[in-house]
Every structure is written in C-alpha cells, then in structure tokens.
A and B are shown apart, each in its own frame.
Chain A
C-alpha cells in the first residue's frame, strides 16, 4: 500500500475564487451567503444562497468552449487549473497514461437543463442547441479536465448527492494507494443556483430563508451554495521525487449506507463511516483533533451527526473541535466535501480551525465544541471530513498533518 498526499488544491466558491482567498475568508469567519441574483428569483420563496460573484466566463474561455461548458464545468476547470498549477505535476508519458480524474457532482449541468426546458416549454421553441447533451451530462466536467490536462487513465463522475465529492475523493485515494495511478485529479463541483435548481430544493421545505446556523438551537435549515474544489492526490514517493510541496496526507476513508430512509439521516450509518475511516487509517479516536462536519444546519442532520460523533469518540468527543463551514459558503451539494476539505488542510497545515459562523444559541443535542463564530489556532494532527448524503450514503475521509 502506497502513501497518498495532496500536492495541489484549487477552488472557486462564494468565499473566494482561489484557495488563498477562501482560506482567508474562513479564517476571518466571513459569510459568502447573500441575496440570490438570477432570472425569476422573485418567484422563489428561498432567495438566499452562497452564489459565486464576479466570475466572468467570457475571456476565460473561448467561444467554442463556452458553447460546451456549463457553469459547473467552468467552475471545475478553474479549480483544476489552480490545483494542477500549484502541484507542478506534468501529465505526460506513463504518468499521463495512468492518471485520471474522478469528480463528484449531484446535478451536473443543472442550468443547461433549466435554460433549455425554459426555451422549449415556456418560450415554445422547438429546437435546442446541438450541444445541450454534452454540456449538461454529469461527466462533462471530468471529461474536460482530462482533455485540458492530458489525463488518460481512469476517469469518471460519482453522483451520490451531498456525498458526491467525498465518494469521488475516496475513489481517487484508493487508486493512488493501490498503485493503480501515480496521481489523480479529484474533488467535485455543483452549480444549482438557478430558478429550477432552487425551486426543486424549496419543495423539500428544509431550506432557511435567512441563514445557515449549524448546531445552533435556533437553526432553521440549509442554504445552497455553488462552486468547485479540486485536488491533486499523489503517491508520496512520486511527490517527493519531484520535490513537490505537500499540503497534507490522506490516510484513510470509509463509506457506509444507512439502508434506512431516502432523506432522514441515521446515527448508525454516520458512526460506521467515521469509525471505518479511523480503522482504515489505523488511527485511534483520540488522535483526531478536528472534524469538518457535514453540518447542514437542518434540525435532523446536526443532532444526528453530533450523536454519532459522541458514539464514535466517547469522552474524546468533548476534546475535539467540530465545525461546519457550510455556515460560510453554503451547501455545495455534490461539490461540498471538496470545498470543505480545504478547512481540513488549513487545520492540519496552518494550525487554524475554521469556525461555525452564525452560531447564536447552544443546543443540548449538539453539545460539542463547534468552534463558534471565530477561527481558532490549534495544532491538529488528524482531521476527518464528513459527508452524509440523501439516500443514506455516507463517506468520510481521514487526513493527517505532514
């Protein structure tokens, strides 16, 4: 079994258009959630979200690319470039032949579906652009990353709702650890902030109209975000041989299925995923200093997640820190685990734990150290990143300081 390290990170989300900008916002506890701006927003009852501002696709991509890139692909390519540039890895020869791209997304090209349904249903048009299918397909982003960066190994897209990018990164981790690939580009992206995307979520009645306040007694639901997080996972010796900067090590993962309910979370399923990740990484519960929570800000998730942490960690649950950065960037659905991995990297590498902002009232059912409102300096050796999806599909990653 090979060791796996992260040598590059990239992102775009409502907190920033790069990793340094995003980490700065997390350190400062800044909120990226604000009033949504897009067509027909006045017909929505949910009008807030973590929307990416000031992103101009024109100029970044040429006209031909623009006809093929949905917003979720644009986000992915932007984040992938930052990650691969930072890594300095060059995909050529054998490295290119064996390295691939595994990305998560829940909805793929949601705004492409939305725009074209509007065109044929509302505007009564009978013809759509020929590239609607290649633009909206869930694997479009992974494919364009492979083309742009010459990645010719195993590439595919994972779609497990809110756990998509954690499942994707777990796959990439396995491929590098097993020796199947010297490096993998991995993470996820989502762009559902359009009329149809938000309208669908409204239907569930789990969305907050004012803010995402994970673990706070007065929390009243989740807030959607958008963007991408992309990483270069690389075999340790491969990275060392080329003198790459190592951001942290990925040491384990586990996936579990609740096999219970299509939307309600399960303490057992979440516990098994966290305990499984520790076992896979050969770590003790007491080694963990920080957990980046799934922490959606819904009544059900947060209390179930805290109960699961208490079960897995026992008395150590009171010593570790757990925060939800969704309070700042919103819930990026299929891309969320990737952006949240940045908070784990910041904790391990920089010794700064991102806060849970918007925290107003303690909840006895969430009685853990949720790092309320302000970032904290702390030496963290091991961090977990949780993702628990609708459908009861869970994926947890374990990371270690290097």
Chain B
C-alpha cells in the first residue's frame, strides 16, 4: 500500500468513513474530524510510519506541518518518511 493509501486509511477510520470517501481536497472539517480526532490521527500516523510529526495542538497553524487538507497531510508525511534515515 502506498503512503497515500495508508494515510487515507487512517483518516477514514478516524472519520468513520470508507477510504473512497476521503479525497485529496477534503479538509478535516469536511470529514468531521475535530481537534481531538486530529491528535488521535496524528498519533496513529506516527505509529504507522514510525515518524514524529511536528504538530502542536495549541497552535496548529504555526506548526511546521500543513493540515489544510488531505493532500497537504499526505505530502507532509511523504516528506517525513523520506527524511527518515
């Protein structure tokens, strides 16, 4: 499974949706994922890829990690995975 598919599977599970319902331009708000759900999704992503996502729930917009939509999240994860030694 590609990184993209794995991230979408995690987000879909959090949103209680089918992966096919999660599109690249979906926002977390569109998917009904609230702040706790976001933190839980990031935890699941970190566990899945064994990476650390630089995300501070106090200041989501100031974090060096774009969560504006699913495509941005996938791109961020792909970058973190590629940087992993």
Interface residues of A (CB under 8 A from B): 67, 127, 129-131
Contacts and interface: CB of A to CB of B under 8 A. Distances in A.
- Going nearest first, the 3 A-B pairs with the smallest beta carbon separation are A130-B39, A130-B43, A130-B40
Interface in B32-85: 36, 39-40, 42-43, 46-47
Contacts of B47: 127
Contacts of A130: 36, 39-40, 42-43
Given A127-B43, A130-B42, 11 more contacts: A67-B40, A127-B46, A127-B47, A129-B40, A129-B43, A130-B36, A130-B39, A130-B40, A130-B43, A131-B36, A131-B40
13 contacts: A67-B40, A127-B43, A127-B46, A127-B47, A129-B40, A129-B43, A130-B36, A130-B39, A130-B40, A130-B42, A130-B43, A131-B36, A131-B40
A126 B39 CA distance: 16
Contacts of A127: 43, 46-47
A129 B44 CA distance: 8
Looking at chain B, what size class is its interface with the partner chain?
under 10
Contacts of B42: 130
A131 B41 CA distance: 12
Nearest to A128: B43
A59 B47 CA distance: 26
A99 to B, nearest CB: 27
Interface of B: 36, 39-40, 42-43, 46-47
A210 to B, nearest CB: 43
Nearest to A62: B16
A129 B36 CA distance: 11
Nearest to A134: B36
Nearest to A63: B16
A131 B40 CA distance: 8
A372 B85 CA distance: 69
Contacts of A67: 40
A130 B43 CA distance: 7
Contacts of A131: 36, 40
A131 B42 CA distance: 12
Contacts of B39: 130
Nearest to B50: A127
A129 B42 CA distance: 10
A388 B32 CA distance: 48
A198 to B, nearest CB: 29
A129 to B, nearest CB: 6
Nearest to A130: B39
A129 B40 CA distance: 7
B32 to A, nearest CB: 12
Nearest to B57: A130
Nearest to A68: B36
Contacts of B36: 130-131
Contacts of B46: 127
Contacts of B40: 67, 129-131
Nearest to B43: A130
Nearest to B47: A127
Nearest to B38: A130
A303 B43 CA distance: 53
Contacts of A129: 40, 43
A129 B47 CA distance: 10
A127 B40 CA distance: 12
A67 B44 CA distance: 13
A123 to B, nearest CB: 13
A143 to B, nearest CB: 14
- Among A127, A129, A130, A131, max chain B CB count under 10 A is at A130
Nearest to A67: B40
